[in-house]
């Protein structure tokens, strides 16, 4: 019998036969569950060598309660679900899945951006309700010649910058961790300059203590009157209450949001849902059948590397050896 338990706390993927077979070949076995909380994981994974999570945080309490735990894996691009410092203190390897969906998120960002520019959802709703008057869309502005700002300049934002190359727009970005401009036409600038210059701001920063509410009541006031925001990253990057206020006042002309804070509070009576200049999608920027398959493949390959004691490709705490 295989002896190494891999606990998948909140699996949303189907058809994991190949994953299970690959684990079996390295003397491991998979336990799937539908945990809702960190405490659920603690109750069920005390004997696990690996824990995989999609939505549930893994913190000090998990690491203390699971003495056999050697590796935690967040099946996401972002790393905010794992307390990496705590994992490191406990000698636990922390990994993520950075490659599987960046193309989809970049494409979704472009779709949201162009839908804002051309007011596609408003036009669609107008026609479906029996109208056929283009005046309902006024004012419309030409996209060519505008300034698109990218808040964060990792793989997703760089892919967006590449896609923007054919639109004849000025592309600027703010990212304190990027020392050189990897995309020839993208200009590096400060956060304040980015917000003051951008006609359209696309948010691509990771969620950290430093970026939580990076767009807030103060920084949103830096933005040009009538500018628009696209967020396909993390909801907590934007202070929702502050965003609602600047949308109501007209300081911000529109927003396209794939995720917001407290997304479970959205509904017909939520202020964002009542605004014609707001586009909302249900956190689907990452989604495609191709992304699902690559996600499973990348997860499988990394765990197999772990059990074979091979170098890990997505390790977040290199100082922990194994």
Domains 4-100+289-307 and 102-280 share a fold: yes
CATH code at 4-100+289-307: 3.40.50.720
Q: Does 321 score more than 90 pLDDT?
A: no
According to DSSP, the β-strands at 252-257 and 278-280 are parallel
Query: Measured between alpha carbons, how far is 292 from 289 in angstroms, rounded to an integer?
Result: 5
Q: State yes or no: pLDDT of 45 exceeds 90.
A: yes
Q: What is d(CA 18, CA 74) in angstroms, rounded to the nearest whole number?
A: 19
Q: Could you tell me the CA-to-CA distances from 17 to 182, 205, 286 in Å, in that order? A: 40, 35, 23
256-282 residue pLDDT tens: 999 999 888 899 999 999 999 999 999
% pLDDT > 70, the chain: 100
pLDDT in tens, 81-98: 999 999 999 999 999 999
pLDDT the model gives residue 264: 86
Check: CB of residue 293 under 8 Å from CB of residue 13. Answer: no
For the chain, domain boundaries: 4-100+289-307, 102-280
Closest Cα to residue 94, out of 135, 138, 53? 53
pLDDT tens digits, one per residue of 70-83 = 999 999 999 999 99
Mean pLDDT of 24-44: 97
pTM exceeding the 0.75 threshold for the entire prediction: yes
Class assignment of domain 102-280? alpha beta
**Mean pLDDT throughout 171-192?**
92
pLDDT confidence of residue 1: 62
């Amino acid at each position: 019998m295989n002896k190494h338990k891999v606990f998948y706390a909140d699996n949303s993927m189907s058809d994991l036969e190949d994953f299970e077979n690959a684990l079996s070949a390295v003397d491991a076995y998979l336990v799937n569950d539908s945990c809702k909380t960190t405490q659920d994981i603690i109750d069920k994974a005390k004997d696990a060598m690996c824990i995989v999570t999609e939505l549930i945080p893994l913190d000090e309490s998990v690491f203390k309660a699971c003495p056999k735990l050697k590796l935690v894996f967040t099946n996401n691009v972002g790393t905010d679900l794992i307390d990496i410092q705590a994992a490191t203190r406990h000698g636990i390897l922390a990994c993520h899945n950075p490659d599987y969906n960046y193309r989809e998120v970049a494409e979704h960002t472009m779709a949201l951006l162009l839908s804002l520019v051309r007011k596609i959802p408003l036009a669609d709703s107008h026609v479906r309700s029996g109208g056929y008057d283009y005046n309902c869309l006024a004012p419309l502005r030409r996209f060519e010649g505008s300034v698109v700002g990218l808040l964060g300049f990792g793989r997703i934002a760089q892919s967006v910058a590449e896609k923007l190359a054919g639109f004849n727009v000025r592309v600027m970005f703010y990212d304190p961790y990027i020392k050189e401009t990897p995309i020839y036409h993208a200009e590096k600038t400060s956060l304040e300059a980015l917000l003051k210059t951008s006609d359209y701001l696309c948010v691509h920063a990771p969620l950290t203590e430093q970026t939580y509410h990076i767009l807030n009541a103060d920084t949103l006031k830096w933005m040009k009157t009538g500018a628009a925001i696209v967020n396909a990253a993390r909801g907590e990057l934007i202070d929702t209450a502050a965003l609602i206020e600047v949308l109501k006042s007209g300081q911000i002309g529109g927003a396209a949001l794939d995720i917001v804070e407290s997304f479970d509070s959205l509904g017909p009576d939520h202020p964002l849902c009542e605004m014609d200049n707001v586009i909302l999608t249900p956190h689907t920027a990452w989604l495609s059948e191709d992304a699902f398959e690559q996600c499973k493949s990348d997860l499988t390959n990394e765990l197999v590397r772990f059990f074979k004691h091979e170098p890990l490709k997505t390790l977040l705490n290199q100082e922990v050896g194994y």
